[in-house]
Amino acid sequence: MFALYSLSVERFSPCLIYVVQLVSRFYCFMPCLYHCVSLRGVFSAATVEQFEQAKSRLSTLKNDPGNEVKLKIYALFKQATQGPCNTPKPGMLDFVNKVKWDAWKSLGSISQDKARQQYCDLVGSLVAAEGGSSAQVAAQPAGSEATYETLLVTTEDNITTIKLNRPTKKNAITTEMYNDIVAALEQAAKDDSVLTVFTGAGDFYCSGNDLSNFTKIPEGGVELMAKQAGDLLRNYVNAYIDFPKPLVAVVNGPAVGIAVTALGLFDLVYATEKATFHTPFSQLGQSPEACSSYTFPKIMGVAKASEMLLFNKKLTATQACELGLVTEVFPESSFQMEVWSRLKAYAKLPPNSLALSKQLIRSTEKDRLHAVNDAEVERLVERWTSDECFNAIMSFFQAKSKL
């Protein structure tokens, strides 16, 4: 049996180890779950065929794809066959069912068609990775829209929208999501859209880096984990620095950590009045990222930037607007309507003029931003191996496990 993560378990609380063991045991019984729902009469004949093919090819895999992937497969299967999860959330101590429920719930309201297609795509990619042909199981993406597990990427009215779609975890960004966002930005840079918009599903904009990213220690140990995380972060922030078209944040709720710091690289930031902006780096034994050590003092002055970046001051939307981090604040009741009607009008402006003007505004800063990004990453790689950071992250999960 494969362990849940490559955890160096001796560094974790007994409670966490217990969860890992329980979840590992759960996965021993996963294969039978893939086949537990009859699909007859639910789908059109062609799709049933693809889906059935994907199910049978899944059992031919030679290598265990890992528990995270298996959880995704489970969740997609449930969504494809039963629709969005609306069963009650299992209790805190029912670890196994809670993990399953979380995975299913995190798919939000994506349609059964889309879930079925993602299931086929995922199985197809696993088969292909083992040298088989994915053609028999991969379904065609709808239109030109790429599909991601926890991002909803759509293009409409000349606007490409990248929506973080992990509402049960307050849209915390996993390692996979960092890579997917970079891919989505690369795609948006090339497509026909005029504006690119970031927003979040549910009541949060984003709770920042998923702190469980730090619990996935590879065989090379914490140093390797920190180096890999550093490479990922550098790449992620570079994708914003180099993005050629106007980038807009539609901040639909509270924002934490990198979701806040990256705002200094956006061209417009619209926030609902219920949004808050919090960068608790020193609380977590970490240091600023996404060029905020440069953009924040420039936007709001050193004194106010230090209050946020050193002393964890959480800003209301109005305060963030007064300091220049947010462009405009809207009442919650009319937020979506007002913001989107404005963005749709902006997206009718001449695209080349918009992109070239943005590039002029940013071009003088580009080299400096890349240098700041490198320096911040170097500092963070050191921070992630520190006891201060390790203890802070353990406290977060221990506090959660005591609830």
CB of 401 to ligand COA, least distance (A): 9
> With respect to ligand COA, which residue has the nearer C-beta, 19 or 139?
19
Residue type, 61: L
CB of 139 to ligand COA, least distance (A): 30
CB 90 within 8 A of CB 46: no
CA atoms within 13 A on the CB side of 189: 14
> With respect to ligand COA, which residue has the nearer C-beta, 252 or 286?
286
CB of 275 to ligand COA, least distance (A): 13
The alpha helices in 35-153, defined as continuous H runs, are: 45-58, 67-82, 95-105, 112-129
> With respect to ligand COA, which residue has the nearer C-beta, 92 or 345?
92
> With respect to ligand COA, which residue has the nearer C-beta, 125 or 386?
386
> With respect to ligand COA, which residue has the nearer C-beta, 124 or 230?
230
How many whole angstroms separate alpha carbon 72 and alpha carbon 77? Answer: 8
What is the number of the residue whose Cβ is closest to ligand COA? 257
> With respect to ligand COA, which residue has the nearer C-beta, 249 or 284?
284
Beta bridge partners of 163: 152, 199
User: Would strands 159-164 and 151-156 be described as parallel, antiparallel, or unpaired?
Assistant: antiparallel
CB 396 within 8 A of CB 217: no
> With respect to ligand COA, which residue has the nearer C-beta, 238 or 401?
401
> With respect to ligand COA, which residue has the nearer C-beta, 284 or 325?
284
CB of 169 to ligand COA, least distance (A): 4
> With respect to ligand COA, which residue has the nearer C-beta, 34 or 104?
104
How many whole angstroms separate alpha carbon 76 and alpha carbon 149? Answer: 9
User: Would strands 247-251 and 195-200 be described as parallel, antiparallel, or unpaired?
Assistant: parallel
CB of 380 to ligand COA, least distance (A): 10
CB of 207 to ligand COA, least distance (A): 3
CB of 395 to ligand COA, least distance (A): 11
Residues that bind ligand COA (CB under 6 A): 102, 169-170, 172, 207-212, 256-257, 280-281, 284, 286, 400
The alpha carbon of 82 is separated from its chain's Cα centroid by a whole number of angstroms, namely 24
Query: What is the DSSP secondary-structure string of 262-276?
Result: GGGG-SEEEEETT-E
The single residue listed with the structure tokens 């537990």 is: 36
CB of 254 to ligand COA, least distance (A): 7
Residue type, 257: G
CB of 107 to ligand COA, least distance (A): 15
CB of 259 to ligand COA, least distance (A): 8
CA-nearest of 326, 194, 316, 179 to 264 is 326
CB 176 within 8 A of CB 205: no
Long-range contacts of the stretch 370-374 (C-beta < 8 A, 24+):
370/238, 370/241, 372/291, 372/293, 372/294, 373/234, 373/237, 373/238, 373/241, 373/290, 373/291, 374/234
How many whole angstroms separate alpha carbon 120 and alpha carbon 54? Answer: 6
The two structure tokens encoding residue 298: 């420039």
The single residue listed with the structure tokens 């979040």 is: 200
The single residue listed with the structure tokens 């606007």 is: 159
> With respect to ligand COA, which residue has the nearer C-beta, 65 or 257?
257
